[in-house]
């Protein structure tokens, strides 16, 4: 669990995964790392202040409704606002002992993605174990609209509707099933989730 402290004068309210988070000024707010990633673009160990000032977090500001103009002064004010959210607590905090799924890669290519500071690599023909929220983000597991996951993987380009069928075909090559009790092996030296079963 992380804590986020809002050093601005105004309150921010946002929602993630059906839960509202309210960030009152100068009040540390506990928040799971995956919610912090969604709301603030948080990544463990990143230099947020530099990233914000260089514009790497502008998509977050747009989503939060804080960046509505390209006016230089407006952009500066918005970036300064985002930079005033401070993060504390454990950086990679996702509970890897919660509900898990086994994902079998029947596609022709190695699968690689990142969730909550961990890399997930599943070689062709192998099965990897991951938390359900990772599978939701990577594959749209349990989510009716798979479009965000397909776009994330680069399988679907909204500018080219012809890529949707191919994207759906690729997604169908990943078999996902919930597992009651699974080990979650990690190569501690690299933070890579080892996908062998």
Closest to 30 in 3D by CA, of 19, 41, 45, 18? 19
The pLDDT, as a whole number, for residue 36 is 87
Quick: pLDDT tens for 25-79.
998 888 888 888 889 888 766 667 777 777 778 888 888 888 888 888 999 999 9
Counting as low any pLDDT under 70, the low residues of the chain are 44-47, 89-98, 117, 180-197
The pLDDT, as a whole number, for residue 113 is 85
The pLDDT, as a whole number, for residue 2 is 81
Stated pTM of the model: 0.49
The pLDDT, as a whole number, for residue 188 is 32
């Amino acid at each position: 669990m992380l804590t986020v402290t809002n050093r601005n004068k105004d309150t921010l309210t946002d929602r993630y995964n059906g839960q509202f988070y309210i960030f009152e000024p100068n009040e540390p707010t506990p928040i799971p790392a995956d919610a912090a990633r969604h709301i603030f673009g948080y990544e463990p160990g990143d230099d947020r202040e530099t990233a914000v000032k260089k514009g790497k977090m502008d998509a977050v500001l747009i989503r939060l409704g804080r960046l509505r103009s390209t006016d230089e002064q407006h952009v500066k004010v918005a970036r300064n606002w985002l930079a005033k959210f401070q993060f504390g607590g454990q950086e990679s905090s996702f509970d890897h002992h919660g509900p898990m799924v086994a994902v079998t890669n029947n596609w022709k290519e190695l699968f690689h993605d990142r969730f909550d500071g961990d890399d997930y690599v599943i070689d062709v023909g192998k099965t990897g174990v991951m938390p359900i929220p990772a599978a939701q983000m990577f594959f749209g597991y349990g989510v009716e609209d798979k479009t965000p996951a397909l776009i994330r993987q680069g399988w679907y380009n909204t500018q080219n509707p012809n890529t949707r069928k191919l994207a759906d075909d690729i997604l169908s090559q990943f078999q996902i099933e919930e597992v009651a009790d699974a080990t979650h092996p990690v190569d501690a030296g690299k933070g890579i989730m080892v996908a062998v079963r």
